[in-house]
Amino acid sequence: MQYNRNLRVALMLAGLAAAPAEAAESAVDQQLLLQAYEKLLQRVDQLEASNKRLEAALEQNPNKPPVGNQTAEIAGREEDLENQLLEMKKPSESGIAFGASMTMVALDAVSGTVAGKNDSALNYLADIEFVIPGDALGKLTSFGYSTFFAHLRAGQGNSLDSVYPTLTGTVNSTTFELSKGDESSFILAEAWYQLGIPLNEDKAGRLGRVEMTLGKMDIFGFYDGNDIADDETEFFLNNVFVHNPLLDSGGDVTADDFGFAPGLNVAYINDVNSVNQWKFSLGMFGSGSGAAFDDSFSDPFVIGEADYSGNILFGLPGTYRFYGWYNGQGLAYANEFDAATESHTGLGFSIDQQVSRHVTLFSRYGHSLDGQVKFDWAFTLGGQLGGTPWGRPTDRVGLAFGWLNPSSEFKAAAPTLDADGDGELDFGFTPGGAETQAELFYAWQINNNFQLTPSVQWVGQPGGGSSADDIVMLGLRAKAAF
């Protein structure tokens, strides 16, 4: 449930260089606003990665300038940034900025359908996002910095429902619509206010800052992030690779029907220098009917995460995220078997690490500690190769694998399970092993604003059973972003 990645990252990083406490208040505001604007205009996933690679190379051999493919890649990304600076709409005098994107996906099931024949589907997803610095709304605070964020979303079309049932998720995470068959209309997906408070300096350097965010949010905009596997419009389509499947499609987050929830998030960020950063976050969000503003905020979903970013392996950049969660109103069997609520707890991690000039790897793991869930652990592993070796520095190839282990409760219930209440067995067998997933994509960046991504997906032992045919899915994603 990620969207315009450039705008999201810009907002989250807008206060990275907060001024010292003794600086003039106006200078602080101007500096922070300028940083937010500059961050907004960057293609974070492309330009920042190449800059980090350059820094790592210079640290290893400061007297040797970048050569060959490295020079071509950096030049290509600098040109990409310059073109965006000319083409993107600039913030108004008040500092308000916005971004927009539209994504369309076509899927064709080659095998693995219940009817035993090909089936296809088409959908689109549109997002408009606004970043409004606090001063544009009037002076709201005499210290720190503040930002208001709003996100509108529309879409139409569902994923294929003719394939064999799987343990979780969807082969197309970009699907979104208010109700099946309705004409598309926008909803206010997110609306939240963030206050950043820079801390004083001491002799050792900057102490960091505290960020507090309140409103209606996408939980995965703050937790379980990943530089190469957290945006279904840019990277992998299958939900098991977009987020930790135990949390997202597994049901432990229990956001509203569209994936959002009201909540409060507090984070402490210590970025003593531009290379190393610690971040500690704690969030509390609506759960059960409270996620849709239909009930009180009792028994919320609570999650805490510790992050470290820096040049960890071979002097190359990486980020390591470890988190744990508690859901006071988790649904038994993750909203598939029973409407009864119960508490759920779990642990997980999300890692991305660059291992060479052009290759970055990622991994996620989730483990259920308490509660009845369809699968009790999930592990994903994959990587991304930049296109510089074949002369396409803005293109990418991604490959990922996943393993989902059926829980003992699901194994006992599956033979007689009618999860959707249609009177027919959804599984009708006893799962005997892990469900396996794989996805391969090629992101072809045609120009600064348009990208085409063909992909192929494979699901082995759907639902953990060996009797169903493997699912093979071909896809084509088109995305325009401004």
**Range ranked top by mean pLDDT from 269-278, 342-351, 368-377:** 342-351
* Dihedral pair phi/psi, residue 210, rounded to 5°: -115, 135
Q: Is the pLDDT of residue 446 over 50?
A: yes
By mean pLDDT, which of 216-225, 300-309, 314-323, 368-377 is the weakest?
A: 368-377
Residue 206: pLDDT band (50, 70, 90) is low
Task: Name which of 392, 474, 292, 345 is nearest 73 in CA terms.
Answer: 392
By mean pLDDT, which of 28-37, 352-361, 434-443 is the weakest?
A: 28-37
Q: What is the mean pLDDT of residues 254-277?
A: 84
Q: How many Å apart are CA 368 and CA 348, to the nearest integer?
A: 9
Given the structure tokens 């599956």, which residue do they identify? 414
Based on the number of CB atoms within 10 Å of its own CB, is 30 exposed (0-12), middle (13-18) or buried (19 or more)?
middle
Q: Note the pTM of the prediction, 2 decimals.
A: 0.79
pLDDT of residue 12: 45
Q: What proportion of the chain, given as a percentage, has pLDDT over 70?
A: 71
Chain centroid offset of residue 98 CA: 19
Instruction: State in Å, rounded, how far the first CA of the chain is from the last one.
Output: 19
Q: Is the pLDDT of residue 357 over 60?
A: yes
Please, are residues 361 and 382 in contact by the beta-carbon 8 Å criterion?
yes
Q: Look up residue 315 and give its two tokens.
A: 């002097």
Q: What is the mean pLDDT of residues 15-30?
A: 38
Q: Is the pLDDT of residue 293 over 70?
A: yes
* Dihedral pair phi/psi, residue 58, rounded to 5°: -70, -35
pLDDT of residue 421: 54
Task: Name which of 113, 103, 118, 115 is nearest 459 in CA terms.
Answer: 113
Task: Name which of 398, 481, 397, 476 is nearest 447 in CA terms.
Answer: 481
pLDDT of residue 161: 75
By mean pLDDT, which of 69-83, 182-196, 371-385 is the weakest?
A: 69-83
Q: Is the pLDDT of residue 441 over 60?
A: yes
Reported as a single tens digit per residue, the pLDDT across 225-261 is 999 999 999 999 999 999 999 988 777 887 787 889 8
Q: Is the pLDDT of residue 59 over 70?
A: no
pLDDT of residue 112: 83
Please, are residues 307 and 279 in contact by the beta-carbon 8 Å criterion?
yes
Based on the number of CB atoms within 10 Å of its own CB, is 278 exposed (0-12), middle (13-18) or buried (19 or more)?
middle
Q: What is the mean pLDDT of residues 72-82?
A: 46
Q: What is the mean pLDDT of the chain?
A: 78
Task: Name which of 236, 169, 237 is nearest 374 in CA terms.
Answer: 169
Residue 108: pLDDT band (50, 70, 90) is very high
Please, are residues 361 and 353 in contact by the beta-carbon 8 Å criterion?
yes
Q: Is the pLDDT of residue 208 over 60?
A: yes
Domain of residue 90 covers 5-481
**Range ranked top by mean pLDDT from 128-137, 148-157, 197-206:** 148-157
pLDDT of residue 113: 84
Q: How many Å apart are CA 234 and CA 113, to the nearest integer?
A: 27
pLDDT of residue 164: 83
Q: Tell me the CA distances in angstroms from 433 to 112, 217, 363, 404, one per residue in order.
A: 18, 36, 21, 9
Q: Is the pLDDT of residue 334 over 50?
A: no
By mean pLDDT, which of 157-166, 382-391, 457-466 is the weakest?
A: 157-166
Q: How many Å apart are CA 437 and CA 460, to the nearest integer?
A: 6
Q: How many Å apart are CA 5 and CA 231, to the nearest integer?
A: 8
Please, are residues 432 and 465 in contact by the beta-carbon 8 Å criterion?
yes
Residue 119: pLDDT band (50, 70, 90) is confident
Residues 6+ apart with CB under 8 A from 90: 37, 97
Q: Tell me the CA distances in angstroms from 419 to 34, 231, 410, 469, one per residue in order.
A: 52, 28, 11, 20
Q: Is the pLDDT of residue 70 over 90?
A: no
By mean pLDDT, which of 86-95, 277-286, 324-333, 334-343 is the weakest?
A: 86-95
Q: How many Å apart are CA 107 and CA 116, to the nearest integer?
A: 16
Reported as a single tens digit per residue, the pLDDT across 136-170 is 555 545 556 789 999 999 999 887 877 888 888 68
pLDDT of residue 360: 97
Q: What is the mean pLDDT of residues 372-401?
A: 95
Q: What domain count does the chain have?
A: 1
Residues 6+ apart with CB under 8 A from 390: none
pLDDT of residue 181: 59
Reported as a single tens digit per residue, the pLDDT across 394-421 is 999 999 999 999 888 888 877 776 555 5
CA angle, 8 then 319 then 231, to 5°: 40
Q: Which residues lie across from 278 on neighbouring strands?
A: 270, 308
Residue 35: pLDDT band (50, 70, 90) is very low
Q: Which domain CATH number covers 426?
A: 2.40.160.180
